[in-house]
Amino acid sequence: MDSTKVEILSAKHPRPENITYTYGTAGFRMKYVDLKLSSKSRSQLINDSTFGQITELVSDSYIIAQKRAELLDSVIFRVGLLAVLRSKAQNGKYIGVMITASHNAEPDNGVKLVEPLGEMLAQSWEAYGTELANATSVAGFIAAISTIKLKEGIDWSVPARVVVGRDTRPSGPALLESCKDGVEALDGELTDIGLVTTPQLHYVVRSLNTQGTKEEYGVPTVEGYYDKLATAFAKIVKGKSKPSPVTLDTANGIGAPAIKDFLKVLGPDVLDVKIVNDDTETRGKLNHDCGADFVKLYQKKPSGVEMVPGEKYASFDGDADRLVYYYTDAENKFHLLDGDKIATLAASFIMHLVREANLEITQPNGTKSPFHVGLVQTAYANGSSTAYVKETLKVPVVFTPTGVKHLHHEAEHFDVGVYFEANGHGTVLFSKAALAAFNSANGTTDAEKEAIETLKGLSEVINQAVGDALSDMLLVESVLAWRSWSPAQWDEAYTDLPSRQEKVKVANRHIFKPIKADTELAEPDGLQEKIFAAASQYPHGRAFVRPSGTEDIVRVYAEADTRENTDELAFTICGIIFDHYGGVGERPAKYL
């Protein structure tokens, strides 16, 4: 390591004072700059060269500015260093760096690392990222680099390869330069693949690392990604009725150019998509009153969409890794088809195909066993979806803490593991044994042959590296085409219980200790018993409380048989927390 080079490049990216960074499930994520005008007047800010280029005046209350040395600059420089170290520790495999804040508002940004097979960063390395980001001096993080090298047994002569992509946020270009400097500081090789969806970055990383192996995943380019998905989707729906048109809200994000480029490859005769909210140029529009997170949170249509009863609608989020569907009925009532609905649709279809194909898994000792299909959910999954999967589909359900890395890991234990968060982020994983069964089977009847070929197609159209809105949309459209279902027919499988999510501001979020996959609290003493008691007052009552990972709030989830009971349960628990467990600020009137 050339310490002098590291020190020189680090000087371009000084760490701001009085900020503590944490590498969490979403990597590092925070507001790039969010400056209240109460501290300085508008004219003072505009004329203050410290704040660099003013990119947008959002309202009388806020100015969103770009200041390269503020908040994220030093973090992403050090993430570049971390990516080099991780690549060396993985014997020179490609490591991905994605600069995005996903469904967050446009002023936010963030960064996360991607492992060689497209997985989230290993949890043990999250601590290294946090340590590097919080080192208060150059000497401190150089010492941290040396410690990581020693602990991981890194051979400095091994080359390091890093692939970086970003979404459409205006702060992206400057942060990209920060990353480049970090990679250069430790003499890593950097490949910039430009503006991409988060799932495309994961796909490219996995494809680069599996080239020339038995597990080769695809051509390691964005064009290769489009070709793979288009070929597989066309194969699955061949001979079926053309799917009904879908109106797609792309959240004014990177998903807009991605779906447009994909449809050029797919061709006009396979799928009709009307794209709305596709403005990636006008500042302030990204995820604003649109996108998957908006639709899920507010249970209503996004801006820019005029809904026609019975027709099909879908939304991506800002980096196109979340997907939800929705429709209105004849009475113009809005119906959401979220991650739970997508998961149950996928699980039921795959179970049908596995049974129709009459396939078995060959174990290492040569014995045969049935396919083990499972569904992985979090505490936020609607109780009706869990009951439907267990009692109707007869598919086992496993719960994990919130966070894709937990779901992905648990899904790997099944031959076919389906995982989706209720927010629409998820995918399907196929084990090596399952893929071998698909590829070795021939089938003896036409029905068996068709089911086998469809399973092969699904394993190609589904992005197994990570949740992928475009890929998941093709999965949904495949199933609907096969079954000739409208969105309303899809929705008939089960009826969601009414649910509500709330936030309570507290003095110290760290006193709340979740257990049992976030469904209960071990601490503070007595709170869980009060939650149980409140939920027991309502038919199908269920509630849980979990702390935020980034700010002093706790999140409250409640569901029950009616909207009135659900709201009452949620606000009762909010009141208990506020009154007895450190609520701060003015007590909201809605709390009971």
Q: What are the catalytic residues?
A: 102
Tokens encoding 591: 């709390």
| Residues 131/144, Cβ–Cβ less than 8 Å | yes
Distance in angstroms (rounded) separating the CA atoms of residues 446 and 462: 24
Distance in angstroms (rounded) separating the CA atoms of residues 174 and 434: 44
Distance in angstroms (rounded) separating the CA atoms of residues 490 and 302: 21
* SS3 annotation, 25-42: CCEEEEECCCEECCCCCH
Distance in angstroms (rounded) separating the CA atoms of residues 294 and 301: 9
Count of alpha carbons within 13 Å of 216, Cβ hemisphere only? Answer: 9
| Residues 111/183, Cβ–Cβ less than 8 Å | no
Strands 94-99 and 334-337: unpaired
Distance in angstroms (rounded) separating the CA atoms of residues 319 and 199: 8
**Spatial CA neighbour of 473 closest among 324, 336, 295:** 324
- DSSP string of 161-173? EEEEEE-S-TTHH
| Residues 137/146, Cβ–Cβ less than 8 Å | no
| Strand order, beta sheet including 246-249 | 273-276, 246-249, 312-316, 323-328, 334-337
Distance in angstroms (rounded) separating the CA atoms of residues 574 and 583: 9
